């Protein structure tokens, strides 16, 4: 079974496709002969296209190995006649996703090391230091008494060495899973979405994708109902699927878009405002491009701010909590012993 492609593999493949489409070169032969990162994925797509599949069909044939959004982006680019522009927008979104992973990793390294060291010091204190207070009050039980009375040398070694290794292996496993290409730019981004600030960047990126792809499709005379379905599918944000489908269905019934208040309210505000414009005004493509630029700049600013604030916040929150807990557990026996000595007569 082939390993799933990573974000870096998808980024390399997208860059290869972007270069080929800009140059107007045959895609099939170039993909089959690709080398370097993403070559295995490119070769599979090239073989599918050689067998008669379109690029969008070849991408979708990979199933869960590639994000569904990528096939939708390719299809939207082909429908609009501007595949290079669609791939370029997706390249920026991929670069931001890779940057977010690196930011989160750097933010978590120091707190994780601090947690491991504090845990090892606690085990050592419970095994070696706590017994020194036993002569003061043999009947008193301290917070680290478990290590003193019940933990043998084998268990202590396990707690000091094996448990931290398991924690680090678990962190590495989560990191590897978050790098799968199928888990990026969407609600499937896994635990990364729950890191404060990351979900906002992903949402803004999805809003930029939605607005930009809508602008591409509408500019090239793709019917608005079809454009809404394609763009929402390619945006990478599942919350946009239902309202866009509702508006598309309303258009099919001959109803006005501006009357779909509930569905419009569920879309990004700038996109909603653009869709409310009268069709005869011809302002929709321009307003959608402006919305895409707005969300793109906000996503870039949010990602840049996150790279500064997240490491500090993680260090203060996790490191500070661990340090406080360590101090309390270590000082408790000392304070109790002073109280006991003070009570002697």
Give the 3-state secondary structure of residue 6.
strand
pLDDT recorded at residue 52: 85
pLDDT recorded at residue 187: 46
Cα separations (Å) of 242 from 181, 208, 222, 233, 246? 24, 18, 20, 10, 6
Cβ(31)–Cβ(45) under 8 Å?
A: yes
Euclidean distance between CA atoms 130 and 146, whole angstroms: 10
Mean pLDDT per 10-residue section of the chain, whose length is 345 residues: 73 87 83 73 85 85 76 80 84 79 77 80 74 66 55 68 82 70 51 71 86 84 86 83 93 91 93 87 87 89 83 80 77 76 72
DSSP label of 33? T
pLDDT recorded at residue 135: 66
DSSP states of 331-343 as a string?
A: HHHHHHHHHHHHT
Q: In 3D, which of 6, 70, 68 has the Cα closest to residue 41?
A: 6
pLDDT recorded at residue 249: 94
Q: How many CB atoms lie within 10 A of CB 149?
A: 10
Cα separations (Å) of 243 from 47, 210, 219, 260, 296? 37, 12, 21, 9, 22
Q: Which pTM value belongs to this model?
A: 0.67
DSSP states of 88-155 as a string?
A: HHHHHHHHHHHHHHHHHHHHHHHHHHHHHHHHHHHHHIIIIIGGGGTTT-TT---TTHHHHHT--HHH
Q: In 3D, which of 290, 303, 89, 300 has the Cα closest to residue 209?
A: 89
Taking the domains of the chain in order of start, what are their residue ranges?
A: 7-91, 104-345
């Amino acid at each position: 079974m082939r390993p799933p492609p990573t974000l870096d593999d998808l980024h390399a493949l997208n860059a290869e496709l972007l270069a080929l489409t800009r140059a107007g070169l045959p895609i099939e032969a170039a993909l089959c002969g690709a080398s370097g990162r993403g070559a295995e994925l490119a070769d599979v797509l090239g073989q599918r296209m050689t067998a008669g599949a379109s690029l969008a069909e070849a991408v979708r044939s990979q199933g869960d190995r590639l994000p569904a959004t990528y096939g939708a982006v390719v299809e939207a680019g082909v429908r609009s006649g501007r595949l290079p522009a669609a791939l370029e927008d997706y390249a920026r979104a991929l670069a931001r996703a890779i940057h977010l992973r690196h930011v989160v990793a750097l933010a978590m390294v120091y707190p994780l090391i601090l947690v491991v060291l504090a845990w090892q010091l606690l085990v050592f204190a419970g095994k070696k230091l706590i017994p020194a207070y036993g002569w003061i009050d043999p009947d008193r039980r301290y917070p680290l008494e478990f290590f003193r009375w019940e933990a043998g040398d084998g268990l202590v070694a396990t707690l000091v060495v094996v448990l931290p290794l398991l924690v680090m292996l678990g962190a590495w496993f989560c990191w590897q899973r978050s790098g799968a290409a199928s888990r990026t730019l969407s609600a499937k981004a896994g635990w990364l979405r729950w890191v404060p600030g990351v979900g906002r960047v992903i949402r803004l990126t999805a809003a930029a994708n939605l607005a930009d792809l809508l602008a591409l499709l509408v500019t090239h005379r793709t019917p608005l109902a079809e454009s809404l379905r394609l763009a929402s599918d390619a945006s990478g944000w599942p919350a946009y699927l239902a309202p866009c489908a509702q508006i598309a269905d309303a258009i099919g019934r001959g109803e006005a878009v501006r009357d779909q208040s509930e569905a419009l309210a569920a879309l990004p505000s700038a996109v909603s405002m653009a869709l409310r414009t009268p069709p005869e005004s011809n302002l929709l493509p321009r307003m959608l491009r402006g919305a895409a630029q707005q969300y793109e700049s906000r996503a870039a600013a949010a990602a840049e701010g996150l790279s500064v604030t997240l490491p500090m916040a993680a260090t203060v929150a996790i490191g500070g909590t661990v340090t406080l807990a360590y101090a309390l557990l270590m000082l408790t026996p000392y304070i109790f012993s002073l109280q006991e000595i003070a009570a002697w007569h």
